Amino acid sequence: MSARHVPVMLDRVVSEFTPVVEGRDRPVVVDTTLGLGGHTEALLNRYPSLHVIGIDRDPEALRRAGERLAPFGDRFEAAHAVYDEIAEVVHDSGRTSVDGVLFDLGVSSMQLDLADRGFAYAQDAPLDMRMNSEDDLTAAGVLNTYAEDDLARILREYGEEKFARRIAREIVAEREQRPFERSEQLVELIRRCIPAPARRTGGNPAKRTFQALRIEVNDELGVYRRALPAALDLLSVGGRVVVLSYHSLEDRITKRVFTSATTSTAPRDLPVVPESMQARFRSLTRGAELAGEDEITDNPRARSVRMRAVERIAA
C-alpha cells in the first residue's frame, strides 16, 4: 500500500468523534467522501456501537469500499450520491439528524491510481477527470469548448495559476490544430507556457492546471459550498463536523462557514444575548490544525492538509 492510500490524520480524526459516540445509542456518522473507506473502517473498528453512512459519487469507489467494509455488516451503508445531497441521503436512511459528519476533500487515492481516469499529470491518460463516470462533462470537453476568458478564469481562480491567461491563450490556439484528448498533450503545452525559472520551484508545473480542471469538471467548490451548511443543519446537539481540506480554496469556505456558525449575531454591547442570537456551534480547533512532521514524513499527502472541526451546542 502506497503512502497515498494511508488516510490523512487518521488517529486525530477518529479521536475527534469519541465524544459523539460515548453515551449514545447507536450513533451515526456520515462519511461524505468515502473513497476507499479508510476513515470509515477505522471509525467502525474503534467504536463498536457506531453506524456509518458512506457517500461517494464514484461507483467504482463504492464497489471497492463496499468489499472492504463488508465485515461490518449493517453497521455500514453506502449511498451513491454527490455529498451536497447529504440531507436527502440521511432522510432516505430513515433519520432526521446525525451525530457526526466527516469531509475528506479532494481527489481520492483510487482515482489518482487509475490512469484512465486522467487525474494524474505524471502519466499519460485520456483527459477525463470525472469523479462520476456517468457525468457528461470531461476535462477534454472543458479544454476543447470553453472560451479563452472562461479558461483563464478557471485556471486563475481554481488553480491559482499565475500564467493562467498565457496557458488559456495557448490552449485555444492549439485546439484549432488538434483537439485535446490526452494529458501528455496538455502537460507539454503547460511546460512551454511557464518560464524556466518558475518551473524550477513548486513541483510539476502542470499540477495547478490539473487541479483547476478537476474542480471545474466536478463542480467541487460549488458542491462543497452547498454541502457544508447542510451538514451543520443535520447535526444533533453535541454532534461534530470534521473537515480535512488540501488547498486554500476549500479551507476558505470552511473557515467562512464555521466562523459564521460559531459567532453570535447579537450586537456586542447587548447586556443579555437572546437565545435566537446565540452561536449554535463552538470551534474545536484553534484555526486550522496541521499534520505533524512524523506523519508528513510517512505520508507526503499530509503536508497540505488543514483540519477544522466544530461541535453543535444548541438546537
pLDDT tens, position by position, 190-215: 999 999 887 777 678 899 999 999 99
Asked if residue 177 belongs to a known ligand binding site, the reply is: no
pLDDT tens-digit series, residues 31-78: 999 999 999 999 999 999 999 999 999 998 999 999 999 999 999 999
- Annotated ligand binding at 84? The verdict is no
Q: What is the pLDDT of residue 231?
A: 98
**pLDDT greater at residue 110 or residue 231:** 231
Q: Quick check: 110 pLDDT over 70? A: no
- Segment 91-102, tens digit of pLDDT: 999 999 999 999
**219 annotated ligand-binding residue:** no
Percent of the chain with pLDDT over 70: 94
209: Cβ contacts below 8 Å, ≥ 6 apart: 155, 159, 161, 167, 186, 190
Which residues contact residue 24 at a Cβ distance below 8 angstroms, ignoring those fewer than 6 apart? 49, 99
Share of the chain above pLDDT 90, in %: 77
pLDDT over 80 (residue 136): yes
Least confident of 134-138, 146-150, 201-205, 250-254: 201-205
pLDDT at residue 111, as a whole number: 53
38 is in an annotated binding site: yes
Tens of pLDDT, residue by residue over 266-293, are 777 777 777 777 889 999 999 999 999 9
Residue 115's pLDDT is 56
Residue 2 has a pLDDT of 41
Domains 3-104+221-312 and 116-218 share a fold: no
pLDDT of residue 114: 58
- Cβ atoms of 155 and 161 closer than 8 Å: yes
pLDDT in tens, 5-32: 678 999 999 999 999 998 898 999 999 9
Domains of the chain, by residue range, sit at 3-104+221-312, 116-218
The answer as to CATH 1.10.150.170 being correct for domain 116-218 is: yes
Count Cβ atoms within 10 A of the Cβ of residue 91 and give its class: 0-12 exposed, 13-18 middle, 19 or more buried: exposed
Distance separating alpha carbons of residues 246 and 104, to the nearest angstrom? 9
Q: Which amino acid, one-letter code, is at 279?
A: A
Q: Which fold has domain 3-104+221-312?
A: Rossmann fold (3.40.50)
Contacts of range 94-98, beta carbons closer than 8 Å, 24 or more positions apart? 95/28, 97/234, 97/235, 97/236, 97/239, 98/28, 98/29, 98/30, 98/53, 98/234, 98/235, 98/236, 98/239
Is residue 39 annotated as involved in ligand binding? yes
Between 168-182, 206-220, 293-307, the lowest mean confidence (pLDDT) is in: 293-307
